[in-house]
Structure 1
Amino acid sequence: MNDIKRTQVQRSSETQTLLLEATIDCLIECGYMHTTTVEVVKRAGVSRGAQVHHYRNKMGLITAATEYLFLEFIDEIEVLSIELKKSGGDVNNFLHATLDKFFHGRFFFASLELITASRTDPDLTDRLIPLIKTLHQRLDDIWNRLYEVTETSPARVETLLNMTLCLLRGMALQSVLRDDPEYYAELLDTWKQILSSFLIRKEGIT
């Protein structure tokens, strides 16, 4: 009986994953406006009934897919930060890895669709706000752990994180219309120099 129940749970989880992955793919390839439950079901290869069972409508799908996407992104950043701290790496490695996620990962392109759509969709905005707050809180935690060995105050470290995120988002957004890697590399190098002047490691800590 337990095996049957576990199999049912696994199947349900697999169906949800298929729907969420299809929703993200549809957002990136078709845009928010053309992301429909019909298209998602088609891409996921599941029945309409299965979709309605898990996510009643488009907004339910979008909300769940956004949470799924944000968790995937932040988990990847968490792994990067752990690896960096273990290896004794510096801020440059972390910034490069994070920037790569913004520029080349699906997180950016799907997020761009959601943010643009939310400007004129109050319901979507209300759904996104708590998810974004959770994402930023986890980023704050990662950043603070990464730089707890510095002389910089926690409040300043948090401010520097937010400034870095604003820079990365702006660069990623601009890259849609300006494909110029050297230009962005120069901006990033300058920002890393600025960060280095604030994030000074404590005496005696390597």
Structure 2
Amino acid sequence: MSAALPRRTQAERSDAMRQRLLAATLESLAEDGYAGSTLSSIVRRAGVSRGAQVHHYPNKQALMLDAADDLLRSSYRTLGAVLLSVADEDNRLEMLVQATWEQLFATPLYRAYTELLVASQRDAVLAEALRGMLLRVSKVFEPAVEHYFMPAPGTRENLKAVFLQFACLLGGLASQAHLLNDTAHVAAQLKLWTRQAKLVMHARKGVRLPPPRPVEWDRPVHS
């Protein structure tokens, strides 16, 4: 007779419920848009009770913000795993560019984030919350840039600004992907940026550990 599995604690059950709600929220945003993602539809998609939703998130905005925060954290972990998996530093930039597009921007999850950005144009509270969230994210991503890359000899480029340009490029490509429907165009743009970036930066040698994270990153947005 196999041993009985240990029962989950209340905290574990609560966290699992919250994760179901967050996953359902992101799926709903990607498929139904911000306006179509009502609390009722998200609860049905998550397969939880309305009481469970109210317990964790009293309103739609709180749920949306936590979902966005969860998405950004997941994105950071994805990029970190890609960077650490590349043993050959000479290929680190190419691998990062390709993985960032394929695993983050060219996904339904980025469409969900885009829905939040569009909604924030007419929602001052949502805009302010997203602004604060992006500031928190920059405090994590900016040190990571210097951790993995360094300026090329003889250059004085601000590498943080170069990667900000990269994010803007990917955001623009992703927002028009449903209109362009042209993978060759996307690939050409990514290669062009990579060639330009390699003129001003190199991957640091021997990086095998992730960069340190600010304390603020470990604080959940809903606390």
Normalising to structure 1: TM-score of the pair? Answer: 0.88
Aligned residues of 1:41 and 1:51 also touching (Cα < 8 A): yes
Matched-pair identity in %: 28
The residue type paired with residue 177 of structure 1 is L
Q: Which runs of 5+ in 2 are unaligned?
A: 1-5, 207-223
Shift of 1:149: 7.2
Indicate which of 133, 136, 141 corresponds to 1:134: 136
Greater displacement, 154-163 / 186-195: 154-163
Task: Count residues with an aligned counterpart.
Answer: 200
Corresponding residue of 1:178: 180
Corresponding residue of 2:165: 163
Corresponding residue of 1:65: 67
Comparing both chains, which one has the higher relative contact order based on Cα–Cα distances under 8 Å and sequence gaps of 6 or more?
2
Q: Distance in 2 between matches of 1:64 and 1:8?
A: 20
Aligned residues of 1:92 and 1:192 also touching (Cα < 8 A): yes
Alignment RMSD, CA only? 2.2
Q: 1:38-89 CA deviation, whole Å, 9 max, x = no partner?
A: 11111111111111111001011111111111111111111112222x4423
Q: Distance in 1 between matches of 2:124 and 2:180?
A: 30
Corresponding residue of 1:78: 80
Q: Distance in 2 between matches of 1:47 and 1:72?
A: 26
1:27-176 correspondence to structure 2 within 5 Å: 27-84=29-86, 86-88=87-89, 89-148=91-150, 150-151=152-153, 156-176=158-178
Greater than 4 Å deviation, 4+ residue runs: 152-155
What is the DSSP-based 3-state SS (H/G/I as helix, E as strand, rest coil) of the residue aligned with 1:148? strand
Shift of 1:155: 6.2
- Relative distance call for 1:39 and 1:63 in structure 2 (3 A) is same
Structure number with the higher helix fraction is 1
- Relative distance call for 1:200 and 1:43 in structure 2 (3 A) is closer
Q: Which runs of 5+ in 1 are unaligned?
A: none
The residue type paired with residue 193 of structure 1 is R
Normalising to structure 2: TM-score of the pair? Answer: 0.82
The residue type paired with residue 63 of structure 2 is L
The residue type paired with residue 198 of structure 1 is V
